[in-house]
């Protein structure tokens, strides 16, 4: 049983109806200075240590070895996946506890880091609907200051069903009608996006003194459809399970209250997919061979 005071705390951390409606309509929410300065310091230290541990550099940042399985094992950085105040907010968006972790990425973007062209990250093979919610929380522990990379978002684009890279080699990181450029956020800010919202990282000059620290955490809503498990280039249940086992073993379940985040039952991989999902995955793999690194093709530093 929850104490009455716990329930009260959860309500304080939840989103208002206005915020929930804004998110549903526009596809994003900006929470400036969401993390305390003290927590940001620890996350920055963890990301620095992560970069020391990683092998293979920027290109292999999402490998089995260097991706979420390694990131989530850090006590502070990995603990973001079950940050109580964020989970209360995700619960507001999802409408219940019926959701689970998809992945966590983390990186330190140095001066000259390549752009990431317009894309979305809604995981679905093939892309057919937006019936279930997937969200990404983009954390900027050192903020955004107009150097190295700006975050671009295209409000309301989550309402259209399209391939993740539909805009990548057409609009690169150009402004689009109605798009927003986020280049001035205080340390600890987080931008929650509907994962189907079109977004980009525009490469910017400067930043030799101040690297751009970044970590994102994503969650998928339970429902009639299962989601592709974490894994590149194809979903891997063994890896997703390893991620969740590690999260639980280092205590991110917080005395069982948040164990549900690390439940893997709403995910599938190549071995457990439907025929339609398998064909969808194959198509994406083939396209990737034709259009290598379509997300990073042009990198005009501005
Ligand atoms: O670097 C950023 O601000 C966003 C990167 C991005 O598109 C992502 O992590 O999905
Ligand atoms: Fe993205």
- Residue 78's pLDDT band, with cuts at 50, 70 and 90, is very high
Mean pLDDT of 261-284: 97
Whether the pLDDT of residue 133 is over 60: the answer is yes
Closest Cα to atom 7, ligand 1: which residue?
200
pLDDT digits over 167-203, tens only? 999 999 999 999 999 999 999 999 999 999 999 999 9
Those residues whose C-beta lies under 8 Å from the C-beta of residue 87, and which sit 6 or more positions away, are 258, 261
Q: How far apart are CA 214 and CA 143, in angstroms?
A: 9
Q: Which residue in this structure is represented by tokens 């954390």?
A: 139
Q: What is the structure's pLDDT at 58?
A: 76
From the alpha carbon of 140, which atom of ligand 1 is closest?
Answer: 3
* β-strands 267-268, 227-228 pairing: parallel
Question: Which residue would you say has higher pLDDT here, 239 or 60?
Answer: 239
From the alpha carbon of 105, which atom of ligand 1 is closest?
Answer: 9
Q: Any idea where the domains of the chain sit in the sequence?
A: 4-296
> How remote is the CA of residue 27 from the centroid of ligand 1, in Å?
15
Q: How far apart are CA 148 and CA 113, in angstroms?
A: 7
- Substitution candidate for ligand 1 out of 116, 212, 296 with most atoms within 8 A of CB: 116
> How remote is the CA of residue 1 from the centroid of ligand 2, in Å?
38
> How remote is the CA of residue 58 from the centroid of ligand 2, in Å?
15
> How remote is the CA of residue 148 from the centroid of ligand 1, in Å?
13
pTM of the model: 0.96
Q: How far apart are CA 281 and CA 254, in angstroms?
A: 35
From the alpha carbon of 200, which atom of ligand 1 is closest?
Answer: 7
How many residues belong to the chain?
A: 302
* Binding-site residues, ligand 1, Cβ < 6 A: 105, 116, 121, 138, 149, 151, 199, 201, 214, 216
Question: Which tokens is 112 given?
Answer: 């000259």
70: DSSP letter: H
CATH number of 4-296: 2.60.120.620
From the alpha carbon of 109, which atom of ligand 1 is closest?
Answer: 1
Q: How far apart are CA 47 and CA 77, in angstroms?
A: 8
pLDDT digits over 106-128, tens only? 999 999 999 999 999 999 999 99
From the alpha carbon of 107, which atom of ligand 1 is closest?
Answer: 1
> How remote is the CA of residue 256 from the centroid of ligand 2, in Å?
30
* Percentage helix, strand, coil for the chain under 3-state DSSP, each rounded to 5: 35, 20, 45
Q: How far apart are CA 151 and CA 191, in angstroms?
A: 10
How far separated are the first and last CA of the chain, in Å rounded?
Answer: 55
């Amino acid at each position: 049983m929850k104490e009455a005071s716990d329930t009260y705390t959860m309500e304080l951390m939840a989103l208002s109806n206005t915020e929930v409606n804004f998110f549903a309509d526009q596809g994003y929410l900006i929470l400036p200075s969401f993390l305390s300065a003290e927590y940001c310091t620890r996350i920055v230290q963890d990301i620095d240590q992560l970069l020391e541990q990683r092998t293979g550099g920027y290109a292999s940042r999402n490998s089995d070895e260097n991706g979420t399985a390694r990131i989530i094992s850090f006590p502070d950085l990995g603990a973001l996946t079950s940050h109580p105040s964020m989970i209360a907010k995700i619960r507001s968006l999802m409408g219940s506890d019926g959701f689970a972790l998809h992945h966590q990425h983390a990186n330190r973007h140095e001066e000259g880091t390549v752009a990431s062209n317009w894309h979305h990250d809604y995981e679905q093979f093939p892309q057919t609907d937006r019936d279930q919610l997937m969200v990404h929380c983009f954390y900027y522990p050192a903020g955004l200051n107009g150097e190295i990379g700006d975050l671009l978002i295209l409000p309301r684009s989550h309402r259209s069903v399209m391939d993740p890279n539909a805009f990548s080699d057409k609009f690169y990181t150009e402004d689009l009608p109605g798009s927003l450029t986020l280049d001035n956020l205080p340390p600890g800010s987080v931008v929650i996006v509907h994962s189907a919202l079109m977004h980009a990282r525009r490469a910017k000059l400067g930043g030799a003194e101040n690297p751009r620290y970044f970590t994102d955490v994503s969650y998928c809503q339970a429902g009639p459809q299962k989601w592709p498990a974490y894994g590149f280039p194809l979903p891997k249940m063994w890896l997703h399970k390893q991620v969740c086992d590690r999260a639980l073993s280092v205590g991110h379940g917080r005395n069982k209250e948040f164990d549900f985040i690390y439940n893997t039952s709403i995910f599938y991989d190549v071995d457990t997919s439907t025929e339609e999902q398998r064909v969808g995955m194959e198509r994406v793999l083939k396209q990737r061979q034709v259009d290598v690194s379509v997300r990073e093709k042009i990198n005009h530093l501005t």
